[in-house]
Structure 1
Amino acid sequence: MTSFKPCMLAALLAASPLAAFAAYPEQPIRLVVPHPAGGSSDILARTMAAAMSKDLGQSIVVENKGGGNGAIAAHSVASAKPDGYTLLLATASTHGINPTLYRKLNYDAVKDFAPVTLFATVPNVLVVGNAHKQMNGLKDLIEYMKANPGKTNMGSAGSGTPGHLAGVMLKDAERLDLVHVPFKGGAPAISALIGGQTDFMFTTIPGAISHIKAGSIKGLAVSSAERSDALPDLPLLPRPACLDLKPYPGTAWWRPPIRRSR
């Protein structure tokens, strides 16, 4: 595994005015995840935190702060002391979607944060419940929804999330009549899909792959530019059927900036 020290340690050191006089890190680092435990962001955070903790010789404490499509976690980190010991696992929601969709936020995605590193790009995967396991691709799903207007439930990790917006793009492109059912995170959304409460959803590969391989849900296509190494049997989402869905919501670590007086 690639060492974190060369690229990340320097960036984190820059967060502390006392960095030149102290060995970093001297205490546990808090990594705030803007979504509930069990979702793709949480899986990524805990995987990376374990490796980084071993590399730096210091504990990395993962703290889940769901709610507000990531706004609660983002505000928490923006208000933290800028000493390099509080990081935000930022997503497309916290730093792309929220500032675009909402007029009022209790944080500024640009001014209240300083970037540390981009550490993952996560393609979407289109999945259906086992009630639709006979489907073999997006075309089959579209045909089903057109034949059953208003009777298809689309799950998501929450309103305004990348998966929700992907579904809206599909709905508008194909003029579909469907019902959006938002949940508080990717994990409960997938549980609802498994339980038959919803029919399909766009989600991330890390959050769905174990369920796809277990056969509890079925993957139809991925949004990456090339076939996924993790799910090599799944085709790519056809374009322009989904109006060029961008495949990689970025996942990065951000910290509060140092505000120096002039």
Structure 2
Amino acid sequence: MSASDELDGPFEKRFVALGDSFTEGVGDIDPSSPNDCRGWADRVAAQLIANDPSWGYANLAIRGKKLTQVIDEQLETALAMEPTLVTLYAGGNDILRPAVNIDGLMARYRHAVKKLVDTGARVVLFTGFDSAKAPLFNMTRGRTAIYNEHVRKIADDLGTDLVDFWHMKQFQDWRYWDVDRMHLGIAGHTEMAKQVLEVLGETDEIEDPEIDELPPQTLVERTVDHVSWGREHLLPWVKRRVTGRSSGDDMSPKYPELTSRVW
């Protein structure tokens, strides 16, 4: 077996990340990474591998996926990898739809989480972000709160770990976010990686994210900024929703098979 082969298993420990753009890493721009983004999950995986070379990592998340798509398209693939650690976040794209049956969705979510837990893997779930200070998206805050109550109950009932994004108030600072205001930026994904490693109780050697000071803006400058954001980011997002398209159409997972080569 060559040194290159040894980098791709077999692995004693197997971390599989499931979800949508949050877990894929959208906003953490990195042209050297698959799909041109890195993200908190890749950063966690790199730290785990640095701590213990017996780890392998797969990231099946694809941007734009709704909860049922994540379950239908990613769950069985993840189970086949016999994971020892799984992270799952899904449902954010459902919450943003005009109509959504959260209770029905979370019944499917619970069933999927139970299947993961029953493998003996350590499972990590996430609550949704508190959008109280997010223009337009704050209208979905009540839905997210209901979603979060389901997640917390499922985590408690099934004995999973929980990353409580809702209560991480540092993310109310928009310098942690990408210019699209929908995804975490480099600083945000870096901070989230550190939060996940804390929940896992793993050694964290990731440097604190650098947060640049923002120059003060006049009312006119803020208005121009909001208009520009609406034109460049919000309208394309709305158009995709209206036409039934997704930003993840025709995209493949970043790391569809277990590897220790995380860029």
TM-score w.r.t. the length of structure 1 is: 0.34
TM-score w.r.t. the length of structure 2 is: 0.34
Greater Rg, structure 1 or structure 2?
1
